[in-house]
């Protein structure tokens, strides 16, 4: 089964929270030294259903900070 790995570009993220609103199962806002940042609770996805939910978060991110790539 395909696996997917999520990465977030911290420099691009503006902490808007759209990812957490779209996919609360796996996204949250975390306070960091650089302000609030979107973070996945789990960075490796093991099935298509999780991929689709997280893809919705990726698609809604206004600054394209989220990437989901096939993991090896
Ligand atoms: S939607 Fe994008 S910019 Fe907004 S908190 Fe999530 S990762 Fe950051």
Domains and CATH numbers, the chain: 3-71 (3.30.70.20)
Instruction: At 68, list the tokens.
Output: 């989901």
pLDDT in tens, 5-57: 999 999 999 999 999 999 999 999 999 999 999 999 999 999 999 999 999 99
Predicted pLDDT at 1: 63
Predicted local confidence at residue 71, as pLDDT: 86
* Among 65, 17, 71, residue whose Cα is nearest residue 44: 71
Q: Which atom of ligand 1 has the smallest separation from the CA of 16?
A: 4
Q: Determine the distance separating the centroid of ligand 1 and the alpha carbon of 10, expressed in angstroms.
A: 9
52-66: average pLDDT: 98
Query: In the prediction, which pLDDT does 64 show?
Result: 98
CA distance 39 to 11: 13
pLDDT of residue 27: 98
Residue 2: its pLDDT value, please? Answer: 75
Q: In a 10 Å sphere around its CB, with 0-12 CB exposed, 13-18 middle and 19+ buried, how is residue 55 labelled?
A: middle
- Nearest-CA residue for ligand 1 atom 2 is 61
Cβ of 43 less than 6 Å from ligand 1: no
């Amino acid at each position: 089964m395909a696996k997917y790995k999520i990465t977030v570009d911290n420099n691009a993220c503006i902490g808007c929270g759209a990812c957490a609103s779209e996919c609360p199962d796996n996204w949250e806002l975390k306070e960091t030294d650089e302000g609030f940042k979107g973070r996945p609770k789990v960075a490796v996805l093991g099935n298509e259903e999780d991929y689709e939910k997280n893809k919705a978060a990726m698609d809604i991110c206004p600054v394209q900070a989220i990437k989901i790539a096939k993991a090896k």
